[in-house]
Amino acid sequence: MTHAFLHRMASLLLFGSLVAVLQTGPAALIGCWSVCAGLLALYKPMRWFVLTAACFGAGFFVYLHVNSRWVAELQPEQLHILASRVSLLLVILPLVLLALARKLPLTRYGGRPQWNEPVGVPWIWAGVVRTNVSVFLGIAMTMGGVAFVPLMLRSGWASIQEAIGFAILFAMTNAVLEEFIWRGVLLSRLAEQFGDRWAVVLTSLGFGLQHYSLGFSWDMCIAFAVGGFYFGAMTVQSKSIVPAVVWHMSINVWMVFGGMIV
């Protein structure tokens, strides 16, 4: 095994366990993770990754604490959900401080999307058909809408009409903040350390697992991780988080209309 492969496997295990332990584990497990991370940080090639993971973990821990102690008490349910999404700013803060301390750009993917960049269907980086970012995004958003039709029919047109305002506000808040965290800041930091494609793998795993705290099962978290892969690959290919934000917003709207959010 090469050193690069071992570094990547260690990063995957450490990052995935961090997200899972913070949501489910007692203080003893968090302490155990910290000891393991500290030992890994003694190895110089992994030090920058451990620091990045620790900054994310600190922000995510505060976010979980605030949501469990204060946000969870808010009523009505729509206010609780929106406040929970706004509190994602707490996850961003330590990562912002890290970027400032290291004099790094907060994100590498904040520019104008390269809509004509080639992508493969169905895997973006590989596939039997070649197209570009804009066409792939249009197809993906359309397929997402079609997939949610049965849920929307079950909810009924009256419920959808009542939820339009909330759906738009939720989608804008959630998609922008989640994408800024995962495909904006974290993808940038991890790509600097491991390259774009492995950074997509790491952020996709973390993105999927963090949905456990939102009440989804671990099976659903894996499905979200697959979605995170597409968001990440699209971001890298287009050199911008904008396509992922737009795609993510459309899915969030369908989720509200289908009754998965409220």
In which region does residue 127 sit, left (phi positive, over 0), alpha (psi from -120 to 50) or beta (all else)?
left
pLDDT at 116: 97
Which helix (H) or strand (E) segment is 209 a member of? Answer: helix 196-209
Which helix (H) or strand (E) segment is 47 a member of? Answer: helix 44-69
Contact predicate 241/179, CB 8 Å = yes
Q: How many CB atoms lie within 10 A of CB 112?
A: 9
pLDDT at 132: 97
pLDDT at 190: 97
Residue 110's SS3 state is strand
pLDDT at 183: 98
For the chain, the structural domain boundaries read 3-257
Report CA 32 to chain centroid distance, whole Å.
25
pLDDT tens string, the chain, 262 residues long: the values are: 588 898 999 999 999 999 999 999 888 889 999 999 999 999 999 999 999 999 999 999 999 999 999 998 888 999 999 999 999 999 999 999 999 999 999 999 999 999 999 999 999 998 899 999 999 999 999 999 999 999 999 988 899 999 999 999 999 999 999 999 999 999 999 999 999 999 999 999 999 999 999 999 999 999 999 999 999 999 999 999 999 999 999 999 999 999 998 7
Contact predicate 224/208, CB 8 Å = yes
Contact predicate 10/40, CB 8 Å = yes
Phi and psi torsions of 127, nearest 5° = 165, 170
pLDDT at 42: 92
- Written as one string, the DSSP assignment of 139-203 is HHHHHHHHHTHHHHHHH-HHHHHHHHHHHHHHHHHHHHHHHIIIIIIIHHHHHHHH-HHHHHHHH
pLDDT at 227: 96
CA distance 135 to 112: 17
